[in-house]
Amino acid sequence: MCSFTRLALLISLIPGAVTVPAIEVGTFELTSSSDPDWTYDRYTQLENGNFSGWGNGTWSGITSNYTYWGEATEYSCLQYGNEDVVVMVNYWFHDDMNHAPDTKVVTCSYRNYSAQARTITVKQFRAAEAVSMDFSAGSCPESAEEAASGISWMTDGSTAAENTWECVDGCQPWNCADYAGTGAVTVPAIEVGTFELTSSSDPDWTYDRYTQLENGNFSGWGNGTWSGITSNYTYWGEATEYSCLQHGNEDVVVMVNYWFHDDMNHAPDTKVVTCSYRNYSAQARTITVKQFRAAEAVSMDFSAGSCPESAEEAASGISWMTDGSTAAENTWECVDGCQPWDCAETASASPISPPSPDDNAAREMAVPGCILLASLLFAWLEINRSVF
């Protein structure tokens, strides 16, 4: 297929996430539930509306682990005189273990932040079945009492268990103020999208998937089997510095200075700082990443220095990075929201879908056909010039 037609067919939809109030931002853990089989849940909510989490429970005698991600699309926030805060959040999520690809579950959630008890009581109304990702949810009722009477656009809406939560990391003041922001920097467009691990020099690393936003924030999850034990993890963080260099052969090299927090393996209010070097190969359509990472997590208020411009320089040592070590060399591919491979600063409003493994061969085969089609079109225009 010719390139102009191919690009038109591969346009992706733009996420509809909304910025949430500050009180919603942070990492939260389940403390109790009216569902006695639900053992654990932990999620991280970002200011831009995106969130991801994981948990487990024992249902029908079978212990199940799950991971999920999604976004908030609508909210309201009301603060009372006793300092309690009630937040309504309209959101959807995708459970990687239990939902079919390209589906989501829509939810109207009502969170009561009790200033005195310092607990968060959540009641939610959730569609019984997952729907297509292109399903457009309506607005949620303003209160749980109204929602209990029925939500017209929610097919088979049902009340989930009532749960209590607590904020365990990145907690914000309990009010309806907007989020104050962080020290993240806007990354080049080539870095924006969702990426999956395709290979690693660490044979025990099984899977990783993360989403990088243009504002520098990212979040992801993955798993591996280390020392014979299978471990799941989730993480989030932000880019604080970058450089981008495009070569004549269309390869692009990006240096990113970033930090991340692993919800499973890092103590609260700590992070790991990293200097990462990503080589985007235009011909192979692969992303090879080499990174230099501090061996231990540091306090969230630690100020990292600048990263060397190249991996070769970084290999000689990074003065401000205590016990800096080289992580495994990995390859990645963009799987969603992919941007053109160049050093443009602004992400496209219409990202293109990732190329399939056979795209290079197909592109080479398509060139003669495109030339022939163009020739025939030109000849037809010449013959019919008078018509126009």
pLDDT in tens, 318-346: 889 876 666 668 999 998 888 888 887 76
Between 4 and 96, the more confident residue is 96
Does residue 354 register a pLDDT over 70?
no
Q: Is the pLDDT of residue 141 over 50?
A: yes
The pTM assigned to this predicted structure is 0.54
132 and 239: one domain? no
pLDDT, mean of residues 97-123: 90
The amino acid sitting at 327 is: A
Domain co-membership, 156 together with 290: no
Confidence class of residue 173 from pLDDT cuts 50, 70 and 90?
confident
The residue segments making up the domain with residue 141 are 16-169
Do residue 165 and residue 201 come from a single domain?
no
What pLDDT is recorded for position 357?
40
**Alpha helices (H) along the chain:** 3-9, 144-147, 311-315, 359-383
DSSP-derived secondary structure letter, 371 = H
Q: Do 152 and 248 fall into the same domain?
A: no
Round to whole Å and give the CA distance between 44 and 47: 10
Least Cα distance to 17 among 235, 331, 337 occurs for 337
Same domain, 140 and 240: no
| More confident position, 76 or 176 | 76
Please give the pLDDT value at position 127. 85
Give yes or no: residues 20 and 165 share one domain: yes
Q: Does 22 lie in the same domain as 151?
A: yes
Residue 256 shares a structural domain with residue 329: yes
Residue 150 sits in the same domain as residue 246: no
Per residue in 1-25, pLDDT tens?
332 222 222 222 234 578 888 889 8
- How many domains is the chain partitioned into structurally? 2
Residues 145 and 75 in one domain: yes
The reply to whether 247 and 294 lie within a common domain is: yes
Residue 369 predicted with pLDDT over 50: no
Band the pLDDT of 364: cuts 50, 70, 90.
Answer: very low
CA dihedral 28, 32, 38, 43 (to 10 degrees): 0
E-strand ranges in the chain read 26-33, 38-45, 50-59, 62-79, 85-95, 103-114, 119-127, 131-132, 157-159, 163-169, 193-200, 205-212, 217-226, 229-246, 252-262, 270-281, 286-294, 298-299, 324-326, 330-336
- How far is C-alpha 179 from the geometric centre of its chain's CA atoms? 19
* Least confidently predicted of 16-30, 125-139, 297-311: 16-30
Contact indicator for 269, 298 with CB cutoff of 8 Å = no
* 120 falls within a domain: yes
CA distance 194 to 12: 12
